[in-house]
């Protein structure tokens, strides 16, 4: 089955970020979204450890390891970059000052529940700031592969893993489709043109609602 690469998923998610939006990107895969801002648009990126409006990653060998994001990756400083206390950073999150949070996921439920911090009793918990972000940001989106490594659906009727947030996700960008969460159901907006609706439904753990034409999900090679 054809599917998008992680870079292509990140590219697609970046196309929906408005110019000047305040954005927090989850650690790991979601950080890729910053690489693909559309021409003429510039998001203002926030990181939980206390930096706002930082720049791109520095060239290898030029890192300043006193200037890192929440994922412990080096970032650059640009005009307008601000530094502040960890507590002030979370006050921004909890105060509703972020327009978008884009996070990874283990599972997403059709009612918008998100599980992304623990794989269960034998897993290593890694919640970070996710529980604050999913309830503080004005919009929460998820980027993820459509299925697990062993082919099981990640989009479900109900999450089976410990929840990060309840009813918080509004859009999911996967390796196969773009799906909105509205009125407690998955609404299919875009899918790979090589994939039929029936094939997509077969790897989705809840019913896909299709209110109208479904656009082709087409991404450049990035």
DSSP letter for each residue of 152-177: -BSEESS--SPPSBSS---EEEESSE
Which are the catalytic amino acids? 48
| DSSP character at residue 184 | T
Computed over every residue of the chain, the mean pLDDT equals 94
Report yes or no: 190 and 216 within 8 Å, Cβ to Cβ.
Answer: yes
Q: What is the per-residue pLDDT across 167-177, written as a single tens digit (0 to 9) for each?
A: 999 999 999 99
- Could you tell me the fold of the domain covering 6-216? Glutaconate Coenzyme A-transferase (3.40.1080)
Mean pLDDT value across residues 7-21: 97
Half-sphere exposure of 207 (CA within 13 A, CB side): 7
Res 114: pLDDT = 97
Res 105: pLDDT = 96
Please state, in angstroms and rounded to a whole number, the distance separating the CA atoms of residues 29 and 25: 9
Closest to 102 (Cα-Cα) out of 162, 24, 158 = 24
Report yes or no: 96 and 134 within 8 Å, Cβ to Cβ.
Answer: no
**112 three-class SS:** coil
Res 17: pLDDT = 97
Q: Would you kindly state where each structural domain of the chain is located, as residue ranges?
A: 6-216
Res 123: pLDDT = 64
Mean pLDDT value across residues 1-20: 95
């Amino acid at each position: 089955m054809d599917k998008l690469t992680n870079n292509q998923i990140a590219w697609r998610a970046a196309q929906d970020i408005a110019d000047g939006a305040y954005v927090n990107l989850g650690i790991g895969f979601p950080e890729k979204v910053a690489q693909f801002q559309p021409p003429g648009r510039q998001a203002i990126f926030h990181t939980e450890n206390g930096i706002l409006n930082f720049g791109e990653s520095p060239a290898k060998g030029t890192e300043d390891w006193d200037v890192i994001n929440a994922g412990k990756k080096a970032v650059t400083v640009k005009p307008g970059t601000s530094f502040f206390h960890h507590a002030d950073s979370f006050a921004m999150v909890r105060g509703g000052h972020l327009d978008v949070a884009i996070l990874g996921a283990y599972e997403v439920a059709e009612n918008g529940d998100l599980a992304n911090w623990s794989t269960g009793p034998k897993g290593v918990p890694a919640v970070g700031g996710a529980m604050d972000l999913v309830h503080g940001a004005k919009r929460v989106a998820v980027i993820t592969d459509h299925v697990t490594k062993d082919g099981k659906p990640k989009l479900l009727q109900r999450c089976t893993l410990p929840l990060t947030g309840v009813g918080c996700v509004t859009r999911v960008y996967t390796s196969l489709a773009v799906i909105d969460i509205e009125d407690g159901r998955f609404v299919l907006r875009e899918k790979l043109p090589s994939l039929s609706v029936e094939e997509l439904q077969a790897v989705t753990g809840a019913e896909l609602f299709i209110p109208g034409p479904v656009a082709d999900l087409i991404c450049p090679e990035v």
